[in-house]
């Protein structure tokens, strides 16, 4: 495989891992399935975790800390636009920053997004319970 093919396979695994809330070790497994290589053994790949970064860490905080532009795009765009993002990354030389951008900001953004998603799910459950409570004949009144 050429370097460009390896980079496209890695970017696809990274985006898929971000969308599915996977860990970096899972991204490595996805990359291995596509190329039969581990991305920590391939030289010249862009957007890989820095040396010493934990493999058990989630993809989202890594992307938020070291690939802030990609993180913003993934949050703002629907899944249908991932192909366009991958096409753009294929021609880009954007890579992990030398130091993480703002770990507190990235962590807070991730926490607030997770909290919003949890609240949305809780509201949906509560609406379902309220809708069915009017027809609950087992309640003693």
* Top-confidence residue, 102 or 30: 30
More confident residue, 52 or 6: 6
- Mean local confidence (pLDDT), 74-101: 86
Q: Which of 4-8, 11-15, 23-27, 120-124 has the lowest mean pLDDT?
A: 120-124
Query: What is the pLDDT, as a whole number, of residue 120?
Result: 72
Query: Average pLDDT of the chain?
Result: 83
Tokens coding 131: 């809708």
| CA separation, residue 13 to residues 101, 107, 124 (Å) | 22, 22, 31
Question: Is residue 52 within 8 Å of 85, Cβ to Cβ?
Answer: no
If pLDDT is split at 50, 70 and 90, which confidence band does 128 have?
A: low
pLDDT digits (tens, 9 = 90+) for 37-70: 987 777 888 998 888 888 888 999 899 888 988 9
CA distances from 139 to 25, 64, 125, 128, 131 (A): 50, 49, 19, 17, 15
Comparing 19-28, 49-58, 111-120, which segment has the lowest mean pLDDT? 111-120
pTM over 0.75: no
């Amino acid at each position: 495989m050429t370097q460009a093919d390896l980079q496209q396979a890695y970017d696809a695994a990274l985006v898929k891992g971000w969308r599915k809330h996977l860990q970096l070790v899972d991204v490595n497994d996805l990359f291995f399935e596509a190329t039969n290589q581990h991305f920590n053994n391939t030289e010249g790949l862009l957007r890989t975790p820095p040396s010493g970064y934990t493999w058990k860490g989630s993809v989202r905080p890594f992307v938020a800390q070291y690939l802030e532009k990609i993180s913003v795009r993934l949050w703002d765009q629907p899944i249908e636009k991932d192909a366009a993002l991958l096409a753009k990354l294929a021609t880009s030389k954007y890579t992990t920053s030398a130091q993480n951008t703002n770990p507190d900001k990235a962590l807070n953004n991730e926490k607030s997004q997770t909290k919003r998603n949890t609240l949305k799910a809780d509201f949906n459950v509560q609406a379902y319970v309220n809708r069915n409570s009017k027809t609950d004949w087992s309640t003693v009144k």
